[in-house]
């Protein structure tokens, strides 16, 4: 069953908040949705970044920091 855009947006916002908390030094951050709870520790930063990229792809967004490449002939 596909996930609606509002749910994906909520999950993305929560994941980005969790990443920010990790980068600011919190030892563990938590995201929760649909009865699932996931904890992220500093060692999980890469896993959390991948999750954020996955959510952005599902929403049709380019990854943060992605730049257009010029066309060279």
Please give the residue range of the domain that contains residue 15.
5-58
- What is the predicted pLDDT for the residue at 66? 58
In a domain, 70, yes or no: no
Q: Is the pLDDT of residue 16 over 70?
A: yes
In a domain, 68, yes or no: no
Distance CA 71, CA 46 (A): 31
Among 47, 48, 44, 50, CA closest to 63:
50
For the chain, what is the domain count? 1
pLDDT tens for residues 19-61?
Answer: 888 888 877 777 777 778 877 777 788 989 999 999 999 999 8
In a domain, 41, yes or no: yes
pTM value surpassing 0.85? no
SS3 41: coil
């Amino acid at each position: 069953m596909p996930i609606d855009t509002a749910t994906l947006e909520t999950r993305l916002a929560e994941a980005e908040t969790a990443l920010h908390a990790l980068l600011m030094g919190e030892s563990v951050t938590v995201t929760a949705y649909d009865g699932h709870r996931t904890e992220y520790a500093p060692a999980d930063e890469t896993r959390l970044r991948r999750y954020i990229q996955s959510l952005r792809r599902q929403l049709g967004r380019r990854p943060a920091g992605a730049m257009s490449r010029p066309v060279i002939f």
